[in-house]
Structure 1
């Protein structure tokens, strides 16, 4: 789809499809897990004694990652599913946005890359493998 404001490009097939997950940082994973379990969130990966825990939220996820050094400097990450990770990466670069790294396959069965928005929010663009 093209817009009168933007000319068509070879990146038109790179579309945002859905919000996959939000990842938040914690200093105390057992406390965080107890909190979210008390609210009825269901663990699908990790747990109180793990460095990373994922809770199912319908078709999306809330991830908690353990940050153990000093004050939490990193707020977390929004994970957005796109139609084609590599095409979306090329689209970002073509628009002057430099991602943190090129797309890669993750052991949790997603292809993804990260970039940081102008306010320092980390965004991950991904697609299940």
Structure 2
């Protein structure tokens, strides 16, 4: 299917009442669950299931979920970036720094009308914390 054949969102809805409403969860792989759990807990993520000694852990992320799964064989490669909206980018940046987590740069305003900063979790996943301006 090419983009031209996909049509607009309204065109698609006329033909199909089923549509994407939201992101439910994202799952990231880790080689060290205990280390990953400590990292996300330091950022204030709340565990709903699993924990440091489990193979699968799920955190509350607003109305969505961030899941971690243990990966014991293949090396994890960088795959992309998770963008997480927070209530106050600068306060969240200070929180990360207070827990010894080093963001890649200080919060900045982007030309796409967001304030944001990036950090990398212990397994190399890039996280962007942002808020629309």
Structure-2-length-normalised TM-score: 0.48
The structure whose residues are more often strand, as a share, is: 1
**Bigger relative contact order, structure 1 or 2 (CA pairs below 8 A, ≥6 apart):** 1
Structure-1-length-normalised TM-score: 0.49
The structure whose residues are more often helix, as a share, is: 2
